[in-house]
């Protein structure tokens, strides 16, 4: 009886077709239950066909058995789907089809300022190389702001800072550098601090100037700190902040409180060095002023300048935020416009 196996498989296929039709056409749970009993019940069609399996020759059994199981599984799955559909239909839910493309219900987005983002990131990076975070007052004496930093008051170097005075000898700090003096007056080396904060210059408002803006001061003082370590620390920061492919360039500059002084450029992170309007076609963007601490500063705060050396740097997180987020006008940073701030949530 060579064709018994194929015949049984054909019969199973027929049962499947009829079962599908019966389940699909059932409109109530009762009708569905009747169909279930007919096809999947203990004495149902599937079960009876499977019992005929025993009569097949051994070599036909596996293939036909598998076919039987497939039919049974398919009908069971359909039964489940139909049962849920009928239940839903009976409770009246399926008539109203939900449009899932409608927007969801949201709450107000909160977030920190883009300049805060930059400051936080800078602080995190320098923390990795042992820096702590310091703060200092925004109202300073001219001694802290100028004299302690080797800037004579009646000297063109003081012209670089057009200063807001509040009273004789009392001013709004023009840089975060006076924090250097305060820290060193209070603590002995090793000192590794970062001091973010607001600084004030009498610059009228325009797209790239504001009369106050943020600055981050850095200072490291200990025995054995040299220019080589200074370069390495700045390179470490630049690679972490701007990316490992970024290169640095150190140029001579002048700050009374550092010597040698250096301006640090990085390869332009907008055009990657090929030249654009941000880097004025040079491929480089200036990001900080820096240098080895001038021994005169150590002497002003009572450190032994023969024993201790160090480096200091200052950078502008507001300017970095403008460049990084391509914000065209510094005024946007300080207006408190919610539509602007939301973009940085």
Task: Identify residues 241-300 at the interface with other proteins (CB under 8 A).
Answer: 249-254, 259-263, 292, 294-296
Of 5-13, 15-23, 76-84, 196-204, the window that binds other proteins (rule: CB under 8 A) is 196-204
Site for other proteins in 114-133 (CB under 8 A): 115-116, 120, 129-133
Interior angle at CA 316, CA 300 and CA 235, nearest 5? 85
Instruction: Please give the structure tokens belonging to residue 208.
Output: 């790239």
Residue 291 CB, shortest distance to other proteins, in Å, is: 8
With residue 276 as reference, give the H or E element that holds it: none
Site for other proteins in 37-96 (CB under 8 A): none
Considering the rule CB under 8 A, would residue 139 count as an interface residue with other proteins?
Answer: yes
Which among 295, 134, 298, 322 is positioned nearest to 217, based on CA atoms?
134
Provide Rg for the chain, Cα atoms: 39
From candidates 58, 101, 102, 277, binder to other proteins by CB under 8 A: 102
Q: Are 119 and 196 in contact (CB under 8 A)?
A: yes
Rounded distance between C-alpha atoms, residue 134 and residue 220, angstroms: 12
Q: Are 141 and 150 in contact (CB under 8 A)?
A: no
Q: How many residues bind other proteins (CB under 8 A)?
A: 100
Q: Is the Cβ of residue 51 or residue 109 nearer to other proteins in the bound state?
A: 109
Establish whether the linkage from the previous residue to 232 is cis, with ω within 30° of 0. Answer: no
Task: Please identify which residue in the block is written with the tokens 């990085």.
Answer: 266
From candidates 144, 161, 175, 319, binder to other proteins by CB under 8 A: 144
Considering the rule CB under 8 A, would residue 110 count as an interface residue with other proteins?
Answer: yes
Residue 272 CB, shortest distance to other proteins, in Å, is: 19
Q: Is the Cβ of residue 92 or residue 156 nearer to other proteins in the bound state?
A: 156
Considering the rule CB under 8 A, would residue 209 count as an interface residue with other proteins?
Answer: no
Considering the rule CB under 8 A, would residue 137 count as an interface residue with other proteins?
Answer: yes
From candidates 25, 63, 205, 304, binder to other proteins by CB under 8 A: 205
From candidates 5, 189, 218, 273, binder to other proteins by CB under 8 A: 189
Residue 65 CB, shortest distance to other proteins, in Å, is: 54
Q: Are 294 and 282 in contact (CB under 8 A)?
A: no
Residue 91 CB, shortest distance to other proteins, in Å, is: 22
From candidates 112, 207, 208, 304, binder to other proteins by CB under 8 A: 112
Long-range contacts of 38-41 (CB under 8 A, 24+ apart): 39/15, 39/75, 40/72, 40/75, 40/76, 40/79
Rounded distance between C-alpha atoms, residue 297 and residue 70, angstroms: 87
Of 29-37, 50-58, 87-95, 136-144, the window that binds other proteins (rule: CB under 8 A) is 136-144
Establish whether the linkage from the previous residue to 194 is cis, with ω within 30° of 0. Answer: no
């Amino acid at each position: 009886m060579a064709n018994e196996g194929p015949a049984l498989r054909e019969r199973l296929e027929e049962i499947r077709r009829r079962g599908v039709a019966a389940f699909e056409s059932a409109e109530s749970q009762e009708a569905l239950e009747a169909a279930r009993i007919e096809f999947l019940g203990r004495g149902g069609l599937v079960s009876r066909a499977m019992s005929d399996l025993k009569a097949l020759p051994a070599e036909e059994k596996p293939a036909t058995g598998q076919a039987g199981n497939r039919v049974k599984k398919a009908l069971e799955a359909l039964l489940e789907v139909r049962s849920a559909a009928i239940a839903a239909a009976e409770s009246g839910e399926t008539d109203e089809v939900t449009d899932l493309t409608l927007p969801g219900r949201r709450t107000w987005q909160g977030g920190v300022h883009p300049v805060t983002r930059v400051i936080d990131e800078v602080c995190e990076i320098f923390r990795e190389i042992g820096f702590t975070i310091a703060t200092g007052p925004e109202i300073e004496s001219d001694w802290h702001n100028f004299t302690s930093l080797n800037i004579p008051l009646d000297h063109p170097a003081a012209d670089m800072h057009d200063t807001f005075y509040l009273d004789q000898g009392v001013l709004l700090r023009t840089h975060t550098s006076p924090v250097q003096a305060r820290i060193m007056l209070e603590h002995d080396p090793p000192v590794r601090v970062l001091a973010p904060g607001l600084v004030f210059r009498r610059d009228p408002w325009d797209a790239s100037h504001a009369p106050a803006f943020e600055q981050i001061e850095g200072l490291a003082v200990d025995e054995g700190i040299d220019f080589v370590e200074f370069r390495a620390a700045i390179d470490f920061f630049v690679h972490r902040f701007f990316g490992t492919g970024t290169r640095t360039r150190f140029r001579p500059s002048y700050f009374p409180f550092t010597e040698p002084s250096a301006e640090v450029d990085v390869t332009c992170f907008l055009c990657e060095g090929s030249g654009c309007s941000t880097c004025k076609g040079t491929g480089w963007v200036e990001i900080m002023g820096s240098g080895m601490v001038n021994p005169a500063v150590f002497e002003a705060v009572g450190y032994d300048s023969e024993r201790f050396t160090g480096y200091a740097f200052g950078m502008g997180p507001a300017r970095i935020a403008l460049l990084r987020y391509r914000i065209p006008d510094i005024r946007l940073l300080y207006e408190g416009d919610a539509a602007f701030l939301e973009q940085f949530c």
